[in-house]
Amino acid sequence: MSARTLPLLFLNLGGEMLYILDQRLRAQSIPGEKARKDEWTDVDRKRVMNDIITTMFNKKFMEELFKPQELYSKKALRTVYDRLAHASIMRLNQASMDKLYDLMTMAFKYQVLLCPRPKDILLVTFNHLDAIKDFICDSPGILNQVDETFRQLIETYSCLSAGEFQLIRQTLLIFFQDMHIRVSIFLKDKVQNSNGRFVLPISGPVPWGTEVPGLIRVFNHNGDEVKRTEFTTDGNYVTPQREGSFDLYGDRVLKLGTNMYSVSRPVETHMSGSSKNLASHAKENTVPNPLAKEEMNFLARLLGGLEVKTPGGSETGFRLNLFTTDEEEEHAALTRPEELSYKVVNIEATQEPGRRAELSRILGELEVAEPPPASSGKGEDLLALMDGL
């Protein structure tokens, strides 16, 4: 597995989260002069987006994220997104948070599958960051934070070989391989089957730097071409006109990673039948992982920099519903398979260095016991340990 995958996974999933939240907040916004105290306004939407993006691109947070390290469990990463989604006045209940995470993961999984070449995953990331910059174009301070992450990405990944990007892609696909959540947008566009698996196209542009298939060339031991054979293909392939820009500003050419919610349409997620039946088999490996203690310390460092904002004074937190109605949200919470649901973990982590060091020390001293047979592994153990802090 690649030790350079985590920043790309986090930033792309975070970008998809921001797309969804922006779309839902816009759909539920009420004009400021007409809104009641408990209703969303466009001012609230901008505040939520600014708060989440500010937290997401915190300098110390990014420094920890970009350190070479293995990917961690799905539940551990999910904990970070729970924390991130609640970094403002917005509040999501468990069903809406589940739906949000499903949409995030399936969208990015589809993008990874469609990348013409492994290096194009970096262009997908740049598309997400370009869109995030549009969200905070009126906030130069936050914009500088995002640009700094842009520079870190260019510095870290521009020198990697094609083989290293292929390893990153394989690491991402391993992470996503058991996720088969049906999403209405993909089902309506016929790019996803009813079992939650994606339909990959057999036509379109070939990867930059490659030729359209249809010709076999045979060379002798001296490297001279001695024979050519043409063949027909079922797909309609074309050569891309130019390569996407890997600079701070530029035309990415590739459209993967852009905001698919910019055109308003309802988005639903459904557990496929096969996913429900296989849910118990898709649990985390129950074999003790020697990286579990390091994972706890990693989360302690990350979560220590993520502050959940508590509404002060007379201000109340705004609840965001990712479903059409409250009844749908309640039904989803009741029917969600238990092993696929997560709960928000609130950790009292302040900016004080002493408190953060203490949290790291406590987590670092915890002995990782072998999970019982019925457990889904270190992810559940980790959440249980954090719940008790």
Asked whether the predicted pLDDT for residue 210 surpasses 50, the reply is yes
Q: Are 260 and 15 contacting, i.e. CB atoms less than 8 angstroms apart?
A: no
Percent of the chain at pLDDT exceeding 70: 65
Ordered DSSP codes for 329-357: HHHHHHHS-GGG----------S-HHHHH
The pLDDT assigned to 86 comes to 86
Strand partners, 219: 225
Could you report the per-residue pLDDT of 319-360, keeping only the tens digit for each? Answer: 565 656 656 656 665 666 655 544 443 433 334 444 334 434
Helix axes 74-85, 42-56, angle to 10 degrees: 140
Give the Cα separation of 304 and 300 in Å (integer). Answer: 6
Between 106 and 292, residue with greater pLDDT = 106
Instruction: State the average pLDDT for the chain.
Output: 76
Give the global pTM: 0.73
* Token pair for 363: 């987590």
What is the chain's percent helix, strand, coil content, to nearest 5?
Answer: 50, 5, 45
Asked whether the predicted pLDDT for residue 277 surpasses 60, the reply is no
Give the Cα separation of 92 and 300 in Å (integer). Answer: 23
The pLDDT assigned to 366 comes to 39
Asked whether the predicted pLDDT for residue 4 surpasses 90, the reply is yes
Could you report the per-residue pLDDT of 16-67, keeping only the tens digit for each? Answer: 999 999 998 888 777 766 666 667 788 888 999 999 999 999 998 899 899 9
pLDDT interval class at 261 (50, 70, 90): confident
* Token pair for 68: 């070479």
Give the Cα separation of 86 and 48 in Å (integer). Answer: 9
Asked whether the predicted pLDDT for residue 284 surpasses 50, the reply is no
Asked whether the predicted pLDDT for residue 241 surpasses 90, the reply is no
Please give the average per-residue pLDDT across 250-254, as a whole number: 92
Please give the average per-residue pLDDT across 213-223, as a whole number: 94
Between 81 and 352, residue with greater pLDDT = 81
Burial per residue of 353-362, b for 16 or more beta-carbon CB atoms within 10 angstroms, e otherwise: eeebeebbee
Percent of the chain at pLDDT exceeding 90: 44
Could you report the per-residue pLDDT of 98-145, keeping only the tens digit for each? Answer: 899 999 999 999 999 999 999 999 999 999 999 999 999 999 999 999
Q: Are 51 and 164 contacting, i.e. CB atoms less than 8 angstroms apart?
A: no
Ordered DSSP codes for 255-269: -TTS-TTSS-----E
Sequence-ordered list of residues with C-beta below 8 angstroms from that of 36, at least 6 positions apart, any chain: 30
Angle at 219 between CA 217 and CA 225, to 5 degrees: 75
Please give the average per-residue pLDDT across 363-370, as a whole number: 38
Least confident window among 227-236, 276-285, 334-343? 276-285
pLDDT interval class at 244 (50, 70, 90): very high
Please give the average per-residue pLDDT across 185-201, as a whole number: 92
The pLDDT assigned to 298 comes to 57
Work out the end-to-end distance of the chain between its first and last CA atoms, rounded to an integer number of angstroms: 31
Residue 216: enclosing H or E segment and its boundaries? strand 215-219
